[in-house]
Homo-oligomer: A and B are copies of this chain.
Amino acid sequence: MAEKAAGGGVQSVERVFELLELITDAGGEVSLSELSSSTDLPLPTIHRLLRTLVTKGYARQLPNRRYALGPRLIRLGEGANKQLGALARPQLKHLVDSLGETSNMAVLDSDMVIYIAQVPSPHSMRMFTEVGRRAHTHDTGVGKAILAQLSNDAVRSIVARAGMPTPTEKSLKTIDELLAELDLIRERGYSIDEQEQELGVRCFAMAVPNAPTPSAISVSGPVSRVDEHFAEKAVPLLREAVRSIAEELNLTS
């Protein structure tokens, strides 16, 4: 078979989600043959899996015979969002109201972070981060805040799997740099993304302790506004926000 990664997972389920991800990656619309060249699955197999999705409403077939994501996925996505995002959003809103900068919440998903909630800044110049988007851990505020809660071994294996791209010259380049940075974060209790993801953008982030899924929240904006003075106001507010979120989480777990 393909890999040792079998691990007892149900093959057709894994495959069907792989297909859904590919459709999403392709911008929401693909032909059968495009899928078969992106995977190494035989064409009839892809067709049968998609057919199942289509009859259940999780995929749609367009008049041009291409396949798209189906409307029933919306509910599921919202449900997932609701779980974590709903209880965090009021806190993010409060941060934005107090600080004037965009606030995000993200969770760890195997070896990347996923943004699950966002309250945009009222400023016209602001970050553009989409809910649902995946990002690396080593070059984002939320990512580093989450990593700082894990063991160094866990961090090593995550970074080994995800790699360490360097989107800007400020990005951390080696695992050792990263581990040193994480020690600093553990000590002071919050992380800083110092233009590591995008030049001109600074971000302060803090992990949510004891979350069922490793999670963190952040505030971010242009370096001109998000400076040391900003941090003095932001850090206590972040601390209060994660405390409040953690409290709500523990009610249901």
Contact = CB atoms under 8 A, between A and B. Distances in A.
B63 A253 contact: yes
A38 to B, nearest CB: 16
A60 B86 CA distance: 13
A76 B75 contact: no
Contact of A131 (B53, B60, B69, B78): B78
A72 B29 contact: no
A71 interface: yes
Contacts of A29: 83, 252
Contact of A76 (B57, B73, B249): B73
Given A71-B116, A77-B132, A109-B71, A83 B60 contact: yes
A109 B49 CA distance: 18
Given A28-B86, A52-B13, A252 B57 contact: yes
A218 interface: no
Contacts of A28: 79-80, 82-83, 86
B17 A51 contact: no
